Chains A and B, each alone.
Chain A
């Protein structure tokens, strides 16, 4: 037994080298070069369309963030994107892929208008806002929760079911616009009956910004704190990091996964409500404008971390907004910015593939 009196040698391992094994400045150089190349490709594309590659970026900046008025528009537009991106962030922590932000925004919007119309002229102001947001949260949570339930009970892939639920949601909205809450006669533009002006969110201090924008920032901070500091967030991270380990530790993995989907869906639903109360006022076909899909990319770009996700969502919102400027001053079609969006996502994939953990 004499060997037992000695302690086993303590093995000291160095921290594992970063994935690429390159010094930081080399990686930074690579990242910067990649994004510059991305912009150059977009400029070349714009040139083929008759725009001046020297001025498009100035125009884009002017029409998205540099001008106070357009900056406000960018921020307002980013509200549903940010909320729907967080709807991907929370399930992603638990290892789930929610591609259904679009459908959850739509169901939230539908519920928002439904609650608003039910309250009618009688109720306005904060009480109405809360009721509308709560109704939208429930609708989004249910919509996403169904997919979560199918996942934990039947092992149906949530990335597929959430995607298909988007199409169902779009048709549900068309149905209520045309058949249930149709405003005006058949000759007017299709749109649902609107919320009352008391139910719309007021602008903050004489700006175009509505209350939705500061609320959005609060939600981002809240989700960050939830994931970082609460036991709920901890459980989520364990279940996402290693489901087997979570199961063997006795964590209720199914409930955790379902909970993450409910929470995510609720956020996207709230995003839909804020979009209706702060910008649209009523339902109209195509109003969500693929916010949910852009949100999915924003969550990806932000690495499922709330603050970077916020930044990515605002960036995407700015790019989308800059399309107006390109159309007016450069004669480009407004949808040309989608090319830039695509290029950025492509660059991001290349960069993250090359540098892996470099920025995490």
Chain B
């Protein structure tokens, strides 16, 4: 397709910048969608894809830059404004009301819905549209009875009937079976034939190849590849654009790592499987040796089993099958309490949800930490301030005053408290999940140094991160998870980033 065919793009973004406090989520992003194309928007987690489309859909207001819709400058104030401009979005967490039928959900959204509903008219309009686009849904079915694929089709119908000409799909295939994904792509082709422009947020190279006419790749909030025909690029080039080419010169270990390659095993997993609450295997037959004095990096796209691995290692998630041996731990048992006393501590992936206790001060949290890691039943809240001051001095992360309530601090300051505790613990095994998320550059650097110090003290460190630069700079080796399985283990020194990226997105060959 040449640019002559569509002289005015449906939607054009120039120099869009969006900041959240000190975090720059979108930095001078450029992006264009034309009528009749599927535009793949690629990037790792945190690359700024969601922020960008939320700005287009009126959820965020950009701090700088232009958004041009149909050749006119627009300031998209709200989602309903976006819908008026013909921009529709299908979210990852779907937004239908389960207790209502499909047609009721759609009628709710439409502007010209009469005050007294006419079920027959509404249902006919929906049936016509579903036949036209091949979106097969029963309009009178209750949404809660739909399968995920049907649910998504209903959501698409809702957006299309609202008059969307630019359709934003946020990782629509992540919840679908391959067959459902193929069916969705057929629908997208019919839509583009009608002149709709589709923005498809995607993780998987294969899908982009299958459906996208153009791609834009974001990394670290910036456009690294703008409006390109994906067929001009190799898989490796696409992956490199997503995950980056340069290792930041941070905290590189001073010495080679072979010396500790056969260090004592602290925890050994064999065929370890863990169920998610949904009944799906989150971790599926994983073999892993975690050794003292080494940092094991864990890479993978979000939800590939990192959370389940961490939960298993701290004793929160039970093994479904397989074994977990603890030769390097002097543990009384395998409960969380036992493991904690034996020196297993973790930096949780989401401290605001899973660490902060409502209404409690930092001192309270410190007392809880001290008592549970020492196996004491008494909580010394009064002595906690002193202990914490000592830890704070040692860690150098400059945590807030211990008399402050933790739930009133920002995410970054909460993270500093948790890191200060976990990285001054002299533990046997530290599981650090996304330890530097939301931290400023200097605190990130200090945290990296602390992780390396913990390793040099002989602690086994499991580092879960979505930042490949961080993983490669700190880890001795990186294990890649994909759909709960080990897709491969790669030594961090001279790691082939392209291969890592492919393992993350496509799994073991």
Q: Contact residues of A with B, CB < 8 Å? A: 1, 3-4, 6-13, 15-16, 231, 234-235, 237-238, 241-242, 244-252
Query: Contact string, B253-287, partner A, CB cutoff 8 A, digits 1/0?
Result: 00000000000000000000000000000000000
Residue in B314, B356, B442 whose beta carbon sits within 8 Å of that of A242 in the complex: B356
Residue in A3, A12, A238 whose beta carbon sits within 8 Å of that of B445 in the complex: A3
Given known A-B contacts A8-B440, A10-B398, A245-B357, A250 and B408 have beta carbons under 8 A apart: no
Question: Hey, which chain A residues are within 8 Å of B445, CB to CB?
Answer: 3-4, 8
Q: How far is the CB of A231 from chain B (nearest CB, A)?
A: 5
A241 touches B360 (CB 8 A): yes
Residue in B359, B372, B398, B413 whose beta carbon sits within 8 Å of that of A249 in the complex: B372
Question: Hey, which chain B residues are within 8 Å of A252, CB to CB?
Answer: 337
A249 touches B369 (CB 8 A): yes
Q: How far is the CB of A70 from chain B (nearest CB, A)?
A: 39
Query: Contact string, B332-348, partner A, CB cutoff 8 A, digits 1/0?
Result: 00011111110000101
Given known A-B contacts A248-B316, A250-B372, A8 and B398 have beta carbons under 8 A apart: yes
B368 touches A238 (CB 8 A): yes
A13 touches B316 (CB 8 A): no
Q: How far is the CB of A54 from chain B (nearest CB, A)?
A: 44
CA distance A79 to B385 in the complex (A): 40
Question: Hey, which chain B residues are within 8 Å of A245, CB to CB?
Answer: 354-357
B348 touches A237 (CB 8 A): no
Q: How far is the CB of A228 from chain B (nearest CB, A)?
A: 11
B409 within 8 A of A: yes
Question: Hey, which chain A residues are within 8 Å of B356, CB to CB?
Answer: 242, 245
For the complex of A and B, list the 10 residue pairs with the smallest distance between their C-beta atoms, beginning with the closest: A250-B337, A241-B357, A8-B442, A250-B336, A8-B443, A241-B358, A10-B398, A250-B340, A242-B357, A249-B372
Q: How far is the CB of A23 from chain B (nearest CB, A)?
A: 20
CA distance A249 to B396 in the complex (A): 24
5 additional contacts, CB 8 Å, given A9-B440, A245-B354, A250-B341? A234-B367, A241-B360, A245-B356, A245-B357, A250-B339
Q: Contact residues of B with A, CB < 8 Å? A: 251, 314-316, 335-341, 346, 348, 353-360, 364, 367-369, 371-372, 377-379, 381, 396-398, 400, 404, 408-410, 412-413, 440-443, 445-446, 449
Given known A-B contacts A8-B443, A237-B360, A248 and B354 have beta carbons under 8 A apart: yes
Q: How far is the CB of B308 from chain A (nearest CB, A)?
A: 14
Question: Hey, which chain B residues are within 8 Å of A241, CB to CB?
Answer: 357-360
Question: Hey, which chain B residues are within 8 Å of A244, CB to CB?
Answer: 353-354
Given known A-B contacts A6-B442, A250-B335, A11 and B379 have beta carbons under 8 A apart: no
Please, which residue of chain A has its CB at the minimum distance from the CB of B353?
A: A244
Question: Hey, which chain B residues are within 8 Å of A11, CB to CB?
Answer: 400, 410, 412-413
CA distance A83 to B504 in the complex (A): 59
Given known A-B contacts A6-B442, A242-B357, A248 and B348 have beta carbons under 8 A apart: yes
B357 touches A238 (CB 8 A): yes
Given known A-B contacts A241-B358, A249-B372, A231 and B378 have beta carbons under 8 A apart: yes
Q: How far is the CB of A230 from chain B (nearest CB, A)?
A: 9
Question: Hey, which chain B residues are within 8 Å of A234, CB to CB?
Answer: 364, 367-368, 379, 381
Residue in A8, A13, A231, A246 whose beta carbon sits within 8 Å of that of B379 in the complex: A231
Q: How far is the CB of A35 from chain B (nearest CB, A)?
A: 26
B442 touches A248 (CB 8 A): no
Q: How far is the CB of A10 from chain B (nearest CB, A)?
A: 4
Question: Hey, which chain A residues are within 8 Å of B446, CB to CB?
Answer: 4, 8
A247 touches B442 (CB 8 A): no
CA distance A235 to B379 in the complex (A): 9
CA distance A251 to B367 in the complex (A): 13
Question: Hey, which chain A residues are within 8 Å of B346, CB to CB?
Answer: 248
Question: Hey, which chain B residues are within 8 Å of A249, CB to CB?
Answer: 336, 340, 368-369, 372
Q: How far is the CB of A198 from chain B (nearest CB, A)?
A: 42
B314 touches A248 (CB 8 A): yes
14 contacts between A and B (CB under 8 A): A7-B398, A8-B398, A8-B440, A9-B442, A10-B398, A13-B413, A237-B360, A238-B360, A238-B368, A241-B359, A242-B357, A248-B314, A249-B336, A249-B369
B354 touches A13 (CB 8 A): no
CA distance A242 to B368 in the complex (A): 13
Question: Hey, which chain A residues are within 8 Å of B381, CB to CB?
Answer: 234
B409 touches A247 (CB 8 A): no
Q: How far is the CB of A153 from chain B (nearest CB, A)?
A: 15
B398 touches A237 (CB 8 A): no
Q: How far is the CB of B501 from chain A (nearest CB, A)?
A: 28
B408 touches A15 (CB 8 A): yes
CA distance A169 to B254 in the complex (A): 72
- Residue of A15, A235, A247, A250 with highest tally of chain B CB at under 10 A: A250
Question: Hey, which chain B residues are within 8 Å of A242, CB to CB?
Answer: 354-358
CA distance A244 to B357 in the complex (A): 9
Question: Hey, which chain B residues are within 8 Å of A231, CB to CB?
Answer: 371, 377-379
CA distance A245 to B359 in the complex (A): 13
Question: Hey, which chain B residues are within 8 Å of A235, CB to CB?
Answer: 379
Please, which residue of chain B has its CB at the minimum distance from the CB of A6?
A: B442
Please, which residue of chain A has its CB at the minimum distance from the CB of B315?
A: A250
CA distance A84 to B348 in the complex (A): 39
Given known A-B contacts A11-B412, A16-B408, A251 and B442 have beta carbons under 8 A apart: no
Please, which residue of chain B has its CB at the minimum distance from the CB of A239?
A: B357
Q: How far is the CB of B310 from chain A (nearest CB, A)?
A: 10
B409 touches A13 (CB 8 A): yes
Q: How far is the CB of B446 from chain A (nearest CB, A)?
A: 6
Please, which residue of chain B has its CB at the minimum distance from the CB of A10?
A: B398
Q: How far is the CB of A358 from chain B (nearest CB, A)?
A: 15
Please, which residue of chain B has its CB at the minimum distance from the CB of A16?
A: B408
A251 touches B337 (CB 8 A): yes
A248 touches B336 (CB 8 A): yes
Please, which residue of chain A has its CB at the minimum distance from the CB of B314?
A: A248
Please, which residue of chain A has its CB at the minimum distance from the CB of B369?
A: A249
Question: Hey, which chain B residues are within 8 Å of A250, CB to CB?
Answer: 315, 335-341, 372
Question: Hey, which chain B residues are within 8 Å of A247, CB to CB?
Answer: 316, 336
B400 touches A251 (CB 8 A): no
Please, which residue of chain B has its CB at the minimum distance from the CB of A3?
A: B445
Question: Hey, which chain A residues are within 8 Å of B449, CB to CB?
Answer: 4
CA distance A320 to B207 in the complex (A): 70
Question: Hey, which chain A residues are within 8 Å of B396, CB to CB?
Answer: 7-8
Q: How far is the CB of B29 from chain A (nearest CB, A)?
A: 28
Question: Hey, which chain A residues are within 8 Å of B442, CB to CB?
Answer: 3, 6-9
CA distance A16 to B356 in the complex (A): 16
CA distance A219 to B279 in the complex (A): 46
- Residue of B336, B348, B413, B440 with highest tally of chain A CB at under 10 A: B336
CA distance A242 to B338 in the complex (A): 20
Question: Hey, which chain A residues are within 8 Å of B400, CB to CB?
Answer: 11-13
Q: How far is the CB of B350 from chain A (nearest CB, A)?
A: 9
CA distance A143 to B239 in the complex (A): 62
Q: How far is the CB of B200 from chain A (nearest CB, A)?
A: 34
Q: How far is the CB of A319 from chain B (nearest CB, A)?
A: 30
CA distance A283 to B369 in the complex (A): 50
CA distance A258 to B68 in the complex (A): 60
